[in-house]
Chains A and B, each alone.
Chain A
């Protein structure tokens, strides 16, 4: 066979006589196209399938609570000067996390395929993904030191993502420097300190947050780094939502409790695996990324043994791009008690819940209607064929995607938990406090994802609300076929109008993600208090986020310079 250089010379000669045809005259174009159609031209429908796995084969991984470290062992010690209000909220609990690359057993059938050893490649916290849950309590400030012990890029085995990390505690009311600003990343060998004051926003207990998560927020690499494994959950308790179903406090809600037992956090990530059982990712598809297997706490369609009693499940959509409608196979009742992890005023009875990326719902499922030995599956019935968003159709019969299985085992003791009629009052909205209205338009143009026709520039301040004020923000999806889960850091909102109508049911709530379908708009109420600094607003389809669908806004001191 001719050497490549010779081929090029021959081609050059040929071009002289047959312009615009690079030596291809002898072959019909169609044949050439068939010959070397690259894998690169892939659509979500032609992505290679994951290797076959047995569903409901792996037990659910229940993420343990983080374990405290002695602050005296932190070297160097925490630097109070780099945290807002550190002296007021001195940490009482200290944690250390190390991020590493290693192998994680997503599923036995995938793990055995890997020539590296048993498991699938993953980026992990303290050796696991999801990392340990931050189980915290209001009034008990937290300090977390996170070391990036990932390999340098050239040594990383995971073939996507960048081993530079910044960790965002999603939904938390946290000072900017501990929030996981996308520019606050550290590389291999470095660490970053996070201080969470564990204060209610505005010191109002009605602002309590319940089900949060932490995840990587690296500029341009959030989708891939989270996909590689850098996400985990957080549970905040307080006096009434105390995690204790036997709580003697007369005001306690006594929701199904004890973290990890009857109060179970589950995060969904849809993952596609390659022939060696490692996560696969197509970075060239800027619409989004869909996995073909649903993982729950990074186990592929696992099972959980449950007692015939009430459980609280905190269900998270960990992204990057998949929307879910989740229901039990027998379409039986669940009670939604939280939207985006925050208690509703009243439980809402449903047979399915809809989640966009980063959305959370806490539901109570009462398994006492089943008998020991029975099982019931949790299924996804939302059809989605690409990363842009759902098609609007529902999956039926065998097309429904397995998520997890509950297997009923004998009751171990009395179920003293309750589904209260009333939980937590929504914080007061006083529209007279509103000093400004802003609109954020999410759109797509020539391959670009934009907010207000601009793309992420971390040096540009797109809005600068004053501390101590309130504003009305409108999020509008100007696209015709895309869905955008809009997320704003630091503060959560209450919906005033959704597509022009006041919210009802589960939408009458405090939220941090507004999942907008094509043409949707949400008008919401915000207040800006307690801390200063820069925060992002972005699409939480992380693939859109990484494709510059993000903007910076700052909370500035009241009385400071007006740069609107």
Chain B
């Protein structure tokens, strides 16, 4: 292998992106509006360009840039439901069990989010009530419907019911998913598997042959 360091490779990769992204920037007014970040999109994150640059709001009405604040440089567990969807296909009780298993890491190494699939109806207050009803103590996200739809689309989440949870580590850029209703242990295991350093656990239940 030629002696090019990984860092110079990444730098050249990053340098190539803005040229494309900048071409899409609308002029003038948009750029000056403080409410918007202008393209190019956030840098540094391995999958930054995949996610929309939008503001979301949680059940406590705390706001955040979806990628930069909530995803970049973190290990995350992102699930999807809604007040209405939960009636037809309940997920939260299962995810609460997952939360119990990784509770000591939540807010530190691991972030857990549920994005509403029904931003047209689900207000922060609705999501607060939904979370409290299930004893779910992680962040529930809503926002402008168009923004949330873009977030859903970036996870390939189509329709008002979407039963996959995505686990990602944006330090390494690796993502995987698990059915939200799978045995909670295996969802937890996915979080451990994508974690790095001392938190990396290739398995929680050793499934190896002899």
Contacts and interface: CB of A to CB of B under 8 A. Distances in A.
Interface of A: 1-2, 4, 6-8, 10-12, 14-15, 20-24, 26-27, 29, 31-42, 81-82, 102-103, 115-118, 153-154, 156-157, 159-162, 164, 176-177, 181, 183-185, 187, 220-221, 275-276, 283-287, 445-448, 455, 457-459, 533, 546-548
Interface string B74-109: 000000000000000100000000000000000000
Given A164-B202, A446-B89, A533-B209, A38 B46 contact: no
A81 B38 CA distance: 63
A2 B156 contact: no
A121 to B, nearest CB: 10
Interface in B161-210: 161-164, 166, 169, 171-179, 182-183, 186, 190, 193-194, 196-197, 200, 202-203, 205, 207-210
Contacts of B49: 38-40
B142 to A, nearest CB: 9
A115 B172 contact: no
Interface in B32-70: 33-39, 41, 46-47, 49-55, 57, 61, 63-65, 68
Contact of A285 (B61, B156, B163): B156
Contact of B172 (A153, A184, A287, A547): A153
Contact of A11 (B41, B55, B163): B55
B156 A447 contact: yes
Contacts of A160: 173-174
Residue among B51, B57, B146, B156 having the largest count of chain A Cβ atoms under 10 Å: B156
Given A38-B150, A457-B182, A284 B196 contact: no
Interface residues of B, number: 82
A2 to B, nearest CB: 4
B163 A448 contact: yes
Contacts, number: 208
A6 B52 contact: no
B173 A159 contact: yes
A447 B181 CA distance: 12
Interface of A is mostly: loop
A21 B207 CA distance: 49
A207 B181 CA distance: 41
Given A22-B144, A181-B209, A446-B161, A27 B50 contact: no
Given A103-B1, A177-B209, A448-B164, A35 B26 contact: yes
A22 B57 contact: yes
B83 to A, nearest CB: 16
Interface of B: 1-2, 4, 6, 8-9, 12-13, 16, 24-26, 29-30, 33-39, 41, 46-47, 49-55, 57, 61, 63-65, 68, 89, 123, 143-144, 146-147, 150, 153-159, 161-164, 166, 169, 171-179, 182-183, 186, 190, 193-194, 196-197, 200, 202-203, 205, 207-210
A292 B53 CA distance: 29
Nearest to A156: B172
26 contacts: A8-B65, A21-B144, A24-B36, A33-B146, A35-B24, A36-B39, A36-B53, A39-B50, A82-B209, A103-B1, A115-B4, A156-B172, A176-B209, A184-B208, A220-B176, A220-B178, A276-B13, A283-B176, A446-B163, A447-B162, A447-B163, A455-B179, A457-B186, A547-B177, A548-B179, A548-B182
Dominant secondary structure of chain B at its interface with chain A: loop
Contacts of A548: 178-179, 182
Contacts of A103: 1
B198 to A, nearest CB: 12
A183 B203 contact: yes
Nearest to A187: B202
A116 B4 contact: yes
A547 B178 CA distance: 7
Given A177-B210, A284-B50, A22 B55 contact: yes
A458 B26 contact: no
A27 B159 contact: no
Contact of A284 (B35, B155, B159): B155
Contacts of B176: 162, 220-221, 283, 546
Top 9 A-B pairs, shortest CB-CB distance: A117-B2, A40-B50, A23-B35, A183-B207, A40-B154, A177-B209, A2-B34, A446-B163, A41-B153
Contacts of B36: 23-24, 27, 32, 35-36
Contacts of A117: 1-2, 4
Nearest to B8: A115
A27 B33 contact: yes
B63 A11 contact: yes
A547 B166 CA distance: 11
A102 B26 contact: no
B180 to A, nearest CB: 9
B25 A35 contact: yes
A22 B63 contact: yes
A235 to B, nearest CB: 26
A286 B4 contact: no
A453 to B, nearest CB: 11
User: Which of A23, A159, A283 gathers the greatest number of chain B CB atoms within 10 Å?
Assistant: A283
A117 B153 CA distance: 36
Contact of A448 (B33, B63, B171, B179): B179
A38 B209 contact: no
Contact of B51 (A4, A40, A161): A40
A459 B169 CA distance: 26
A420 B190 CA distance: 52
A162 B55 contact: no
Interface centre among A32, A160, A276, by most B CB within 10 Å?
A: A32
B154 A41 contact: yes
A385 to B, nearest CB: 16
B205 A37 contact: no
Contacts of A40: 47, 49-52, 153-154
A330 B167 CA distance: 49
A435 to B, nearest CB: 27
A14 B209 contact: no
Most buried by B among A82, A102, A103, A284: A284
B65 A4 contact: yes
B162 A458 contact: no
Most chain A CB within a 10 A radius of its CB, from B25, B29, B65, B154: B154
Contact of B37 (A4, A27, A285): A4
B47 A457 contact: no
A459 B205 contact: yes
